[in-house]
Structures are given as C-alpha cells and as structure tokens.
A = this chain, B = another copy of it.
Amino acid sequence: MERDGPFIAVDWGTTNRRAWRIAPGGAVEEALADARGILEIPAGGFPGEVAFLRQRLGDLPVLMGGMIGSDRGWRAVPYVPCPADVSSIAAGIQWIDARTGIIPGIAQERRDAPDVMRGEEVQIIGALALGDLPRDALVCLPGTHAKWVRLVDGRIAGFATWMTGELYALIRDHSILAPQLAGEDGAAHGSDAGPGFAAGVVASGAGDPLGQMFRIRAAAVLGAPMADAPGFASGLLIGAEVRAAMALMQGEAPWLIGRGDLTARYAAAIAQVIGQAQDTRRVIDGDTAFRAGIGALLKEMS
C-alpha cells in the first residue's frame, strides 16, 4: 500500500457512517455521510459497501474505525489493551485485504472498572498528531456513550464511560416525561442549550439526577410547566456526569473532542461546575480529529 498517498477514512458507527477522501497533506477532498450504520448492513454486505465507498470516493486505501470492528460489524477486531498508543493501535489493525483495514478498539481490563471504546481512540490519536492536545491531559468525548480518558505521555492510560446520551434519548422518547421533552432536535442531547440547561446543571449538584427528573412532570401537571424542560433534563444528566467524572479525575478541567453542539453543552456544564469559563482552545472538532487519526495510523505503518 502507498502509505503516504491519498486515502479514505471511514467512521462507521452503529447507526451512521461518514467517509472522506483525504489528500496527502490532510485536506478533505470529498465527503460522504449516510445512515448506513453497521446495523443496516445485511450479513455479507460489507465488501459491497466498501466497493461502493471506493466508487464514490476513489479507488484508494480504506481505513475504518468505530463499531465496524465490533462483533456486530464486519469483523470483530480484538481490543488493544490499556495503556495504548498510536503504535499499539496501528499494530492491532486487522487487514481485510492489503489496502482495507479495520482499527481495533481499546479495552481496559480492570476487574473493578472494565471498559471498552471503539472509535474515540482514533480521535484522540488524531488530536495528538495535530498538536491540539497535550500528551498529558484529561479528555472528554461526549456522545451516546461519553468517554472520559486519561492521557499519560501520549498514551491512553485509562478511561470511563457514561451512558448519558443514550439515557437522555430513552427518557425523551419513551418515558412519562416524553410530552415535556418533545420538540428536541435529533441530536443526542438536543439542540442549543436553553435556559433550563444551566438550571439542570445546578440541580445536578444535589448528586441525585434521577430524583430531580420527575420535577419536570410534576411542574407540568401542576400547571406551571418548566420554560425549558429539555434543557433542564439535559443539564441534569450532563451536569451529573461532569461532576462525577471530574471528582473521579480529581477536578482537572478536561479537553473536549466531539460534535460542536455537544462539546458546547459540555463546555457550558464544565464552566458552571468549576466556576470559570472553559478554555475554548480546549475544544476540538471530532471529525477533524478522526481524519487526522486515520492519517497518523497509516503513517505509523509506513
């Protein structure tokens, strides 16, 4: 494979897929995004899907990260253990053929705190390669399953997962609070944080987000509905996550990697919890980091 030439980077998740043709210098030449997540692909369908990506984006090396490497994806690629870095992750790539690879996830095989990630490791490697992230840092990657990652000397030393995004969606879509939480956009935690978000982060300080949640329904039933119930619910859950993670990680303000709307919410919650504005230089775009991570892994192998 031509490791220094153009390539296709694919972030292939459970419900969505994004792919980019990347020029040797790192520039994005063409992009594709659709809802062909791994759960949409029938058994045996992955070779055809990748042929389609090459048809659309070019007949180039393809390197894929995310749930594509899980037992529900194309091939279950064994996790690389913590501590992990660009070398160990590159060494764990499984090659379907000489120019079609799947990146391994990372496992934390601690009996008291077992954990796994798939995809976030690419973003972290990319942010490091871009020089956007110090080699020793606390990193938060918001999402359906938010990750908080401890970097030590450029290695992923340990991490923890919060199911915040998934829980928010469950409560919004299926709980008794659904009528009050309707009107959200489709994002994991909804659209821009409204006035309720800050109130939710404050309320999360009681250390009991699940005990505060029913207030949303009670207020509506009593004829005084909250002005911004979706924001309040989001603030409660994200606030609880931020407080717990920062306590676990000893209060250090984290770097944020992810989608802009989510990192903005987390930055607001973090600023509220630590009592000072989150440093905006500490917010890194997730897609940019992902593409850079794919490039760094290919370079590592050359």
Residues of chain B within 8 A (CB-CB) of A116 are 217-218, 221-222
Partner of A215, one of B114, B166, B176: B114
Partner of A162, one of B113, B171, B206, B210: B210
A interface, size bucket: 35 or more
The 3 closest A-B pairs by CB, nearest first: A208-B244, A161-B214, A114-B218
Also in contact, A211 and B241, with CB within 8 A (given A114-B222, A161-B218): yes
Q: Report the separation of the CA atoms of residues A215 and B111 in the bound assembly, to the nearest whole angstrom.
A: 10
Residue among A145, A208, A244 with the most chain B CB within 10 A? A208
Residues of chain B within 8 A (CB-CB) of A79 are 222
Partner of A115, one of B113, B167, B218: B218
With an 8 A cutoff between CB atoms, is A98 at the interface? no
29 A–B contacts, CB within 8 A, in A order: A71-B221, A107-B222, A108-B218, A109-B222, A113-B215, A114-B215, A114-B219, A114-B222, A115-B215, A115-B218, A116-B217, A116-B218, A116-B221, A116-B222, A145-B176, A160-B211, A161-B211, A161-B218, A162-B210, A163-B210, A163-B213, A166-B175, A167-B171, A167-B210, A206-B244, A207-B207, A207-B244, A210-B244, A211-B248
With an 8 A cutoff between CB atoms, is A245 at the interface? yes
With an 8 A cutoff between CB atoms, is A170 at the interface? yes
With an 8 A cutoff between CB atoms, is A104 at the interface? no
Are A175 and B164 neighbours in the complex by a CB distance under 8 Å? no
Name A residues whose Cβ lies closer than 8 Å to a Cβ of B. Answer: 71, 79, 107-109, 113-116, 145, 160-164, 166-167, 170-171, 174-176, 206-211, 213-215, 217-219, 221-222, 224, 237, 240-241, 244-245, 248
Contacts A115-B215, A162-B210, A163-B176 known; list 9 others, CB within 8 Å: A79-B222, A108-B218, A161-B211, A163-B175, A166-B176, A167-B171, A167-B210, A208-B240, A211-B241
Q: Report the separation of the CA atoms of residues A217 and B219 in the bound assembly, to the nearest whole angstrom.
A: 35
Are B209 and A210 neighbours in the complex by a CB distance under 8 Å? yes
Residues of chain B within 8 A (CB-CB) of A209 are 210
CB closest chain-B residue, reference A144: B176
Q: Report the separation of the CA atoms of residues A42 and B208 in the bound assembly, to the nearest whole angstrom.
A: 38
Residues of chain B within 8 A (CB-CB) of A108 are 218
Residues of chain B within 8 A (CB-CB) of A214 are 115, 145, 161-163
CB closest chain-B residue, reference A240: B210
Partner of A241, one of B114, B164, B210, B244: B210
A160 to chain B, nearest CB (A): 6
